[in-house]
Amino acid sequence: MTDLNLHLLLAVATGAVFLLVPLLIGKLVRPKLPTVEKDAVYECGEPTIGSSYIQFDLRFYVVALLFIIFDVEVAFFFPWALVFGNATQLADPRLSEEARLRLSDQLTNVMPGTTTADTAIGASDALRLAMTGFADILVFFGVLLVGFAYVWKRGDLDWVRAMVAQAKQAPARPRSPLLREQHHETQTVA
């Protein structure tokens, strides 16, 4: 067996130990006090409707998709910020020639040190690039806001609305047997 195989086997064994030991300790130490409420199905604060394989609330998927869309779209801000920041710095007329060459290298993605004073991006071109980038991000952000406003207007982000309607239709009753007993005792005493 080579050293590489031995190290790999040792890393896998160590990882397995680090995973299994806390699980086993938790199983031995934690209290086992099952109740009806603890055993009830819980889905993000929403009461379950029918079988878990048939009926479900589509709002969970809508919110998950919205999160993914907005999360991915926000990731596009980082490269934009890098280009916009470099172009804005490059547009500064007080910038030294060395810094101008370095920023031109970064913006044009050429090998560092290959840009000369003749091929460097000028201040006016950098200002035009910065303004174009700013206009692009305003359009991009505007599209995101329109999408967010559409989802908000449709009511996909309004979780309370459905719960209030369900609460008006359902009779008030305690959920757990312990609460039912206390509720029954308070009614018989009164």
pTM of the model: 0.48
Q: Do 117 and 101 meet the contact criterion of CB atoms below 8 Å apart? A: yes
Helix (H, G, I), strand (E, B) or coil at 173: coil
Distance CA 180, CA 182 (A): 5
Q: Do 137 and 79 meet the contact criterion of CB atoms below 8 Å apart? A: no
pLDDT band, very low/low/confident/very high, at 20 (cuts 50, 70, 90)? very high
Tally of residues, the chain = 190
Torsion angles phi and psi, residue 46, rounded to 5 = -95, 135
Question: Residue 174 carries which side chain, given as an amino acid letter?
Answer: P
Distance CA 5, CA 12 (A): 11
Distance CA 189, CA 59 (A): 44
What does each C-alpha distance from 69 to 26, 41, 106 come to in angstroms?
A: 37, 29, 29
Q: Do 177 and 38 meet the contact criterion of CB atoms below 8 Å apart? A: no
Q: Do 107 and 87 meet the contact criterion of CB atoms below 8 Å apart? A: yes
Q: pLDDT tens, 135-166?
A: 988 998 898 889 888 888 887 777 665 555 66
pLDDT band, very low/low/confident/very high, at 53 (cuts 50, 70, 90)? low
